[in-house]
Amino acid sequence: MSLSLKVYQAFDRAFITELPADDAAALDRKLDIAAKAFADRDGWLPAYQRMAILRKTSELLHDNRDRFAMMIAREGGKPLADAIVEVTRAIDGLVNAADEIRNFAGKEIPMGLTAASLNRLAFTTKEPIGVVAAISAFNHPLNLIVHQIAPAIAVGCPVIVKPAATTPISCVEIVKLLWEAGLDERWCQTFVTDDNTLAESFSTDTRVAFLSFIGSAKVGWYLKSKLPPGTRCALEHGGAAPVIVDRSVDVAAVVSPIVKGGYYHAGQVCVSVQRIFVHEDILESFTENLGARVAALQVGDPALKQTEVGPLILPRETERVSNWIREAVDAGARQLGGGRLSETTLLPSVLLNPPADAKVSQLEVFGPLTCVYGYRNLDDAIESANSLPYAFQASVFSSDIAVALRAAKRLDAAAVLVNDHTAFRTDWMPFAGRRQSGYGVGGIPWTMQEMADDKMVVLNGVS
């Protein structure tokens, strides 16, 4: 009996399509194909071909921009305006990977620094690490895939990519474009399944040299613990991103980027604004402005151009977020906004001063909610911001450079955004979680480094 995976619209759970799914035999066959492609060193694709394929794929994606954007809006629930931005980023990301090949090289290692190293020439070269197993997440169903497969192709690694079971269409379609652009299927394959046991087998197979995982910390750290000796990995998880708002700011000016960072894709972003620490001198004004801006957000069908906030990915996620909000309110937090529009769509809300031990203060919400806390002393706000076992991106808004620099220096984060929200990202910058938020470094050029090995060559007898 053939397996299949049914795909539904996030917003109204309407059926979209049914895709063929892979079983254990298909997985073994695909891993074998990838391993044999890598083992045939004479068959490795030269750099110019990899560049040409990536550029051609970018052109094809540009021609299909609107189709992909609607696909993202339907299967993932991202508002169409933001889905268009995602496709635009993916188009550029493919070119970014192609361009990086020009600079992807080793270096000379100095010799002759001791008597024993005389008459030698040493240099390093870059080699692909091997078969890449990529497991992706639902919230950016195209661009996250590009972040995993484009670096692998650029470096010369065979890659097998498993999309989220809720959003597989974008992945399948971008891989088809790569094949159309001239990439032999051996070098990029899809692995479509909703079987977690099979996904674990995929991740931990001895033929895999590198695991690229984007998703929950619980799953990512578990898979890392199961990897065979020698298998490398990169894990991209999430957090509960903190924002510090200093009393020197123009409140009306800073609320807009904070709202974008907190409610973009209904808060389903690994660095979404979640915990906002506001100086007491401006707390009332900030809260009033924030509440008004959140209440004005256009919520609804993500396929409509005017929609700013769409659904969560599954009904169970709306139940979870609603329960967390209810728990915080019962414990004394004050709620602004909120409510439910549909089975999967929550109206955006703000919680004022939820308890420090509430789930919304301790865990990643991944929903259309931000939490506001007052502070008097900057160092106290920084201490609260740093109090969780996650550390990804953080923000500080201030017109006082001394405050901004003090916060930037002391916030425990891989990146501190000054006068910008925590969800800002370009696809060529390093993107990495610290502590429980991740392992390794993302961002297309940085991922290429992760997926490569350095080989040193030493020539003796050079005079």
Q: Does residue 423 sit within a domain?
A: no
CATH code at 26? 3.40.605.10
Q: Does residue 162 sit within a domain?
A: yes
Our answer to whether residue 270 is catalytic in this structure is yes
CATH code at 343? 3.40.309.10
Task: List the catalytic residue out of 86, 100, 173, 236.
Answer: 236
Our answer to whether residue 236 is catalytic in this structure is yes
Q: Does residue 152 sit within a domain?
A: yes
What pLDDT sits at residue 18?
A: 95
152 and 121 inside one domain: yes
Q: What is the pTM of this model?
A: 0.92
Q: Does residue 90 sit within a domain?
A: yes
Residues of the domain holding 405? 241-418
Structural domain count, the chain? 2
Q: Nearest CA to 418 among 393, 435, 390?
A: 393
Residues with Cβ within 8 Å of residue 321, at least 6 apart in sequence:
312, 346, 365, 366, 367, 368, 369
β-bridge mates for residue 272, sequence order: none
246 and 98 inside one domain: no
pLDDT in tens, 322-350: 999 999 999 999 999 999 999 999 999 99
218 and 253 inside one domain: no
Q: Does residue 456 sit within a domain?
A: yes
190 and 291 inside one domain: no
442 and 407 inside one domain: no
Q: Does residue 432 sit within a domain?
A: no
pLDDT in tens, 198-249: 999 999 999 999 999 999 889 999 999 999 999 999 999 989 999 999 999 9
228 and 294 inside one domain: no
Residues with Cβ within 8 Å of residue 350, at least 6 apart in sequence:
287, 290, 291, 294, 335, 336, 337, 369, 370, 371, 372
101 and 249 inside one domain: no
| CA distance from start to end of the chain | 68
* Residues of the chain with confidence (pLDDT) below 70: 1-2
324 and 364 inside one domain: yes
What pLDDT sits at residue 2?
A: 64
Q: Does residue 430 sit within a domain?
A: no
211 and 171 inside one domain: yes
Task: List the catalytic residue out of 270, 308, 317, 450.
Answer: 270
94 and 20 inside one domain: yes
228 and 248 inside one domain: no
What pLDDT sits at residue 45?
A: 96
393 and 293 inside one domain: yes
Q: Does residue 431 sit within a domain?
A: no
